Amino acid sequence: MKQLNSRPIELLAPARTAEIAIEAIKHGADAVYMGASSYGARVAAANSLDDITKAVNHAHQFGCRVYCTVNTIVYDDELKDVEKLIKELYIRGVDALIVQDSGILRMDIPPIALHASTQCDTRDAAKAKFLESVGFSQIVLARELTLHEIRNISNSVCVPLEAFVHGALCVSYSGDCQASFMVNGRSANRGECAQMCRLPYKLVDERGCEIPVERGNHLLSLKDMNRSGRIAEMLEAGVSSFKIEGRLKDVTYVKNVVGAYRKIIDDVISGSNGMYCRSSFGMSRLSFNPNLAKSFNRGYTDYFLDDRYPAAEMASIASPKSIGEAIGKISANKADFKLKVSSMSEPLHNGDGLGYFDSAGNFQGFRLNRIDGNIISPATKISIPAGTLLYRNSDKQWNDMMAGDTAKRTIDIEFTLRDAGGPAIALDAKICENDLTVSSTVDVDYAEARTAQESSRLTALSKLGDTAYKLINLTDSLGNRFVPLSVLTSLRRQVIANLDRAIKLNHHYYYRRAENMDVASPVGDAATYHDNISNRLAEKFYSDHGVKRIEHSVETVKTVDCSKPRVVMTTRYCLRRELGCCKKSATSGKLPENLYLNNGRIVFKLVFNCKKCEMQVLTNPF
């Protein structure tokens, strides 16, 4: 049982579909976030209202929450559609909306809780305090923050802070990347990111001469985040919601990653002496041991938790793909295109996905058709030079196992069977984690039993079938009173139905906080295109909070001046630092002063702000 002053901790999982949302809950998530039918920052992860209702009904059974993303910028002609969508989501029981567009705060909508999306780009305490003051109930922090910066923000606000702990990383500050729109007309702030950071680029100087980079040419592609070893520190810094990235990921990824973080968070909570508690109830029992190495990743980094720029490499320059686990080296090419593998670290299986880097540095993949000892037969005819390191990025045996039923989440309950006076008996049911108790009573003729009845009554009352409940204790005070099996069965069904209703009625909704109209916006007198103001309601919001001059988002400007350089990314990732040539180091001279990225079609200029330890990416440098 949680203490009154315990801080509720939330494991927040992504869900592309209602089915994945249900699996995330089964595997231990306290909340899920999923796209609505439109206006979400992942257009390929939209869900119908009926599917969202399905996810809500399952989640609320365990005290879990469903958050819907309505986190794109909104155009003027879409405002009424968004209002209508939000009203529908509220009716369907969605717990909160994750939003970016401040125009939503000026809409005619129900009092549903609003969470400030990572697209709001909350990097400091001033921004966080402002978002809290204008009505946000939870704030998603920028991924780039250090523990020290998170702690400063936590000390400045009262609302829960949400932080990413696992998954893909955007190289730019979220919400402040216009690269995709400026180059391809596909706005990241509209859920249509073309992933410019995952493309290959040549590093060139101002004359256009290439500067060779040994590690590869995906110079803006970051590794994936993995903070599984830093949960306790993040909790201490003030994080209350731990968010897994991946609304486009498959169900196997969600099962595995949620299972892994559930155990880690539970271990920290159990050792906190009541300081923390889970924000939902129900025990998840997994049929597998989670292994984060088995899920899609480009290599792992814990990003900027310790320093503004860590010593370890954070970019996946070799490839933007999931390379997987090193398995062994090709020692020889055999007849019929068979390959001999030496020093195999793990057993391979028919159907595994394998890969290697070719002589040009590109990652190539193939399917394993057959294995005989250390001789493998690819499904396609290929020849790989001896000495090439072989990776496995798809484990067929693991995938087959994860495709099955891998978890069951149940709520531990206790029954008390007692005399209710006269001919009546009562069955009380209590949820062990939160003491929620319901009862059901039935009249039954009194009859003295000739044999002990406790064991048979326990058997009858334990048959909870496909319900979410697991009986862990029965207190039976009826003694030798005989109760027909049919009566016990009816009583059990009634009390479980009452428990279902009580859980639903006791589900706690957080509603939208009041807006303080007197607080000034941290952008000052002027808002730039980086603030993503794209409709008249957002303009009114900023005006109400003291902003006098407003530059609208690039997506809403009819003609963008492409003749001048424009900042399209700002990032704490620094390519000079990544390549060991920081301007503040003795090795800075290994790279020219002026650097550009060129992939034949696109040219970006790189500008380094050493005082802030940031890098900017600009379009149209010539």
| pLDDT score of 560 | 67
What span, in angstroms and rounded, lies between the C-alpha atoms of 14 and 7?
Answer: 23
Residue 230, phi then psi, degrees to nearest 5 = -120, 15
Stretch 314-326: mean pLDDT: 93
* pLDDT tens figures, 497-513: 999 999 999 999 999 99
pLDDT at 37: 85
Tens digits of residue pLDDT in 156-205: 999 999 999 999 999 999 999 999 999 999 999 999 999 999 999 999 99
Q: For 613, left (φ over 0), alpha (ψ -120 to 50), or beta?
A: left
Is 70 exceeded by the pLDDT of residue 562? no
Mean pLDDT value of segment 480-486: 91
| Residue pLDDT, tens place only, 225-268 | 999 999 999 999 999 999 999 999 999 999 999 999 999 999 99
- Two structure tokens written together for 401: 């196992």
Averaged pLDDT, 389-408: 96
pLDDT band for 307, please (50, 70, 90 cuts).
Answer: confident
Tokens of 245: 């990235």
Give buried/exposed letters for 424-453 (b at 16+ CB in 10 A, else e).
ebbbbbbbbbeebebbbebebeeeeeeeeb
Tell me which H or E stretch contains 597. strand 595-598
Is 80 exceeded by the pLDDT of residue 42? no
In DSSP terms, 438 is beta-bridged to 429
Q: How confident is the model at residue 1 (pLDDT cuts 50, 70, 90)?
A: very low
Evaluate if residue 151 carries a pLDDT over 90: yes
Residue 588: predicted pLDDT: 82
Averaged pLDDT for residues 132-141: 98
pLDDT in tens, 67-78: 999 999 999 999
Question: pLDDT digits over 446-461, tens only?
Answer: 788 888 889 999 999 9
Q: Which of 298, 394, 315 is nearest to 355 (CA)?
A: 394
- Determine the 3-state secondary structure of 38 from DSSP: coil
State pLDDT tens for residues 514-537: 999 999 999 999 999 999 999 999
Go through the domains of the chain in sequence order and give each one's CATH number. 7-169+223-280+288-301 (3.20.20.70), 177-221+563-622 (no CATH), 325-402 (2.40.10.170), 410-506 (no CATH), 520-560 (no CATH)
Mean pLDDT across the chain: 94
